[in-house]
Amino acid sequence: MQLPKVGLRELTLGDVEDRFLWSLDREVTAYLNVPDKFPPFTKEETKLWIEACINRSNGYIQKAITTEDGNHIGWVDLKNIDEADKSAEIGIAIGDKRFWGKGYGSSALRAMLSVGFCEWELNKIWLRVDVDNEKAIRSYRLNGFQEEAIMYQDRWRNGVYVDRLRMVIERNDYELSESEA
C-alpha cells in the first residue's frame, strides 16, 4: 500500500481547538494516557500543555501531523529522552477519525523515526501500547517495531489495570527497513 504523505510541523496555539475537540471523543482517547475523567482536559489545560510543548519545558518533542493539503490531523512525539543511552519513547495519535486506517499514522510514525534516528542520533526508540489495542500493535509491527516485554498492570484505564507491551525499533533495523523501501 502506498502511504499518504504527511508533514510534521511545530505546534502552535492555533492547534488548541483541534486538540481539545479530539479529547472530547472517547474513541480517540480510549488508548491515550489521559486523566480518568471526562473530559480529560479543559480547553485551558490543553492550551497550557501545548505551550509547554512549544517551549519544550515538559521534555517532549511534539509535532503536529498534517496532511499534504495542510489539515491538522494529530500529533507525534518523542519523550523520555535518554541522551546518555541514546533512546527515547515515541507516542502518536491521529485525532481526526476521518484519517484513521488510511496509512497516515504509519507515515507520521516513519517521519518521527527519521527525526529520532537522523536528527537526534538515537540508537533505540520504544513505545508502550495497551495489549488490547490490536490495530496499533499491528501497525507498529508493520513499521519495524518488535515486542520487547509485557508490562503487567502497567496502566490504570477505566477503573482497572491493563497490561501493556513495550515495543522497540533499533537504529540498525530502521536503517535496514529504509534501505529496502
> How many angstroms from the chain centroid is the CA of residue 81?
14
Q: What angle do CA 166, 126, 24 make, to 5 degrees?
A: 80
Which helix H or strand E contains 51, and what residues bound it?
A: helix 43-55
Indicate the pairing of strand 124-130 with strand 87-94: parallel
104 catalytic, yes or no? no
Are 120 and 112 in contact by the 8 Å Cβ rule? The answer is no
Distance from C-alpha of 16 to C-alpha of 85, rounded to nearest angstrom: 33
Q: Is 32 helix (H, G, I), strand (E, B) or coil?
A: coil
Catalytic residue among 140, 152, 161, 174: 140
Task: Mark out the alpha helices in the chain (DSSP H runs).
Answer: 16-23, 26-29, 43-55, 104-114, 134-142, 171-180
Active site residues: 140
